[in-house]
């Protein structure tokens, strides 16, 4: 056996760390690029400009808290990321995933349950998601949705301004003091009828780092930065208001990564003296490997678990990425990969069954359609697709769904209210579901690759990357809301088709040369359309980066890590 096949690695639990470590730190030197931040901590360096308002988020106490989290858990995080590489090497050699024999006792034990729903999370029939800019936060909390997932991950570009101002916005939202005024004078405020959406926060995944903050000379874990600052400033206030600090946890690939989050949760709660189990985390099952460990992921987070979510777009991306070396697992273009094709249907059914067996919510995913203004016929078609998607979810047994636009809240609510009059469907056990390991990789369905599909992927990837480089992480393209996940599908499919010399329905063999030629043609179209505005855009930078990942050769694990250095701002000088 190759050592890479032994991808499950034991690691030490540090859950009691904070009970024996004081958070009071004697002042020495903190390197900063602004006189507005006066904190001084040993080994902590803030390398970006900080406004007076942001300095209240990056207080001495808050930085001490997140630095201690990083020092405690970053070695484990890095070990788990290395384990991902071992696992990928095994997949590349043909070791396909299966349910883990060493955790069979967890899966086969029908007696254990996760925590009951926390206050504000009993009824999650419609969840709206979006970035953390001030106007979006107000509109989402006012939308009438059950919850609002404030996103530091795929719908945000992690510029320093976005991240730290986003923390300011969420702090003000928790205290219901948030306000916003447009340059035209229009004012936004929170509704006063007590019907605000419950706030859930999504930090960045374990693979990301925050290069604007160094701890002992190394970039801080982005997950711990996002989680730690929100938790430190808001956990007690949320409890006082009758709810709690709730999170969505992205991009995990194993139950050991869930165990790490659980240890972080325990340590954070101990540090500020609130009961363990106050935090709740909903895990996005958005990687193919996590689909084989759903029971185990809930088990690791038991007292903190608030369920699982079908993160469909990242899941498709993960399927392509993990099996990119396998010609027999090449997917057709995105429009053919619906939620009813065999491998997606198996994934959804298993997730619902698993969640309800353990007493937690099984959340549906995002329909990409958004309202289309000035074209009633096209809008009717798009909204019909949204309705059909939500009917499919609620009749399958999901307890709630996601929308990306406030205008879709009403549509989703109407459907879930009709089919699910009670707060959730935890009683729907789906005993009919039997999913084998091969069902989760069954791609026997109709679909092909067309020249239009290739060009659409190039347009989506290029346009999204250009927007991301400008600090915008959520972009309407072709009347669909695109975020990092859908852009990842686009570039990964292009890579896979070039790698395996896919033949299009028109009879064209896809080669690296063909991909680069088509990329150049699509960029030329944009150059003509934008005219003089093209020179001030980020399309040339986006094209250069995109070209490195669509020929079937070099492949970056994530677009966000590929592009991240280009949005890092050190001091007053931006690299953008």
Q: Please identify every residue annotated as catalytic.
A: 202, 483
Paired tokens of 340: 């009813």
DSSP symbols for 168-186: HHHHHHHTT--EEE-TTS-
Strand duo 362-366 + 280-285: pairing: unpaired
Q: What is the largest CA-CA distance in the chain?
A: 69
DSSP symbols for 548-562: TTSSSS---S-HHHH
Cα(274)–Cα(304) distance, rounded to whole angstroms?
13
Q: Which residue has the tokens 């949204």?
A: 386
Q: Which residue has the tokens 């109709």?
A: 446
Residue 37: phi and psi, rounded to 5, are: -110, 115
3-state SS assignment for residue 372: coil
Helix (H) or strand (E) holding 314: helix 312-322
Residues 400 and 362 sit within 8 Å (Cβ to Cβ):
no
For residue 120, count other CB atoms closer than 10 A to its CB.
21
3-state SS assignment for residue 27: coil
Cα(556)–Cα(549) distance, rounded to whole angstroms?
7
Residues 207-236 as b or e (16 or more Cβ within 10 Å = b): bbbbbbbbbeeebbbbbbbbbbbbbbbbbb
3-state SS assignment for residue 452: helix
| Helices first, then strands: H and E counts in the chain | 18, 17
Cα(249)–Cα(568) distance, rounded to whole angstroms?
24
CA nearest 249: which of 240, 261, 231? 261
User: Given its phi and psi angles, is residue 39 left (phi above 0), alpha (psi -120 to 50 degrees) or beta?
Assistant: beta
Q: Which residues, including other chains, have CB under 8 Å from residue 14's CB and lie 6 or more apart?
A: 72, 73, 76, 263, 267
Cα(278)–Cα(238) distance, rounded to whole angstroms?
10
DSSP symbols for 90-153: HHHTT------GGGHHHHH--S---PPPPTT-S--SEEEEE---HHHHHHHHTS--SEEEEESS
For residue 549, count other CB atoms closer than 10 A to its CB.
20
């Amino acid at each position: 056996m190759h050592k890479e096949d032994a991808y499950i690695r034991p690691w030490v639990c540090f859950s009691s760390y904070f009970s024996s470590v004081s958070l009071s730190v004697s002042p020495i030197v903190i390197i900063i690029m602004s006189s507005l931040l006066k904190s001084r901590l040993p080994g902590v360096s803030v390398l970006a400009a900080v406004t007076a308002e942001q300095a209240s988020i990056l207080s001495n106490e808050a930085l001490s808290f997140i630095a201690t989290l990083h020092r405690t858990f970053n070695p484990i995080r890095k070990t788990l990321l290395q384990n991902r590489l071992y696992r990928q090497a095994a997949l590349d050699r043909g070791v396909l995933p299966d349910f883990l024999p060493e955790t069979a006792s967890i899966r086969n034990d029908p007696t254990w349950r996760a925590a009951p729903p926390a206050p504000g999370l009993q009824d999650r029939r419609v969840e709206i998601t979006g970035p953390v800019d001030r106007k979006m936060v107000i509109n989402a909390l006012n939308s009438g949705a059950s919850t609002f997932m404030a996103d530091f991950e795929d719908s945000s570009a992690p510029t320093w301004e976005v991240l730290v101002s986003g923390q300011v916005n969420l702090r003000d939202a928790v205290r219901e003091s948030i306000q916003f005024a447009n340059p035209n004078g229009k004012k936004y405020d929170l509704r006063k009828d007590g019907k605000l959406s419950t706030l859930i926060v999504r930090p960045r995944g374990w693979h990301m780092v925050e290069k604007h903050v160094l701890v002992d000379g190394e970039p801080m874990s982005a997950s711990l930065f996002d989680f730690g600052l929100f938790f430190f400033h808001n956990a007690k206030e949320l409890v006082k208001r009758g709810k709690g600090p709730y999170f969505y946890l992205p991009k995990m690939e194993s139950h050991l990564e869930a165990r790490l989050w659980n240890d972080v949760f325990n340590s954070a709660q101990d540090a500020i003296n609130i009961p363990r189990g106050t935090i709740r985390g909903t895990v996005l099952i958005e990687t193919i490997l996590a689909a084989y460990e759903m029971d185990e992921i809930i088990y690791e987070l038991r007292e903190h678990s608030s369920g699982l979510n079908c993160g469909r777009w990242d899941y498709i991306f993960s399927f392509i990425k993990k099996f990119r070396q396998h010609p027999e697992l090449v997917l057709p273009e995105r429009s053919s990969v619906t939620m009813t094709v065999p491998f997606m249907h198996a994934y959804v059914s298993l997730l619902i069954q698993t969640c309800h067996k353990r007493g937690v919510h099984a959340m549906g995913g995002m329909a990409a359609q958004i309202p289309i203004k000035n074209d009633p016929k096209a809008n009717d078609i798009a909204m019909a697709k949204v309705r059909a998607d939500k009917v499919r979810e609620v009749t399958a047994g999901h307890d709630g769904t996601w929308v990306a636009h406030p205008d879709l809240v009403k549509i989703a609510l109407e459907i879930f209210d009709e089919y699910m009059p009670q707060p959730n469907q935890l009683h729907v056990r789906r005993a009919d579901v039997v999913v084998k390991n091969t069902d989760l990789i069954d791609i026997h369905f109709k679909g092909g690759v067309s020249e239009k599909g290739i060009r659409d992927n190039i347009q989506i990837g290029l346009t999204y990357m250009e927007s991301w480089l400008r600090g915008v992480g959520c972009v309407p393209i072709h009347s669909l809301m695109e975020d990092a996940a859908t852009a990842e599908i686009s570039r990964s499919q292009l890579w896979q088709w070039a790698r395996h010399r896919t033949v299009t329905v028109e009879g064209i063999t896809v080669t690296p040369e063909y991909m680069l030629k088509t990329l150049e043609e699509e960029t030329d179209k944009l150059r003509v359309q934008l005219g003089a505005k093209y020179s001030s855009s980020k399309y040339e930078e986006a094209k250069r980066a995109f070209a490195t990942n669509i020929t079937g050769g070099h492949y970056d694990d994530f677009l966000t890590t590929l592009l991240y250095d280009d949005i890092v701002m050190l001091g007053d000088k931006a690299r953008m």
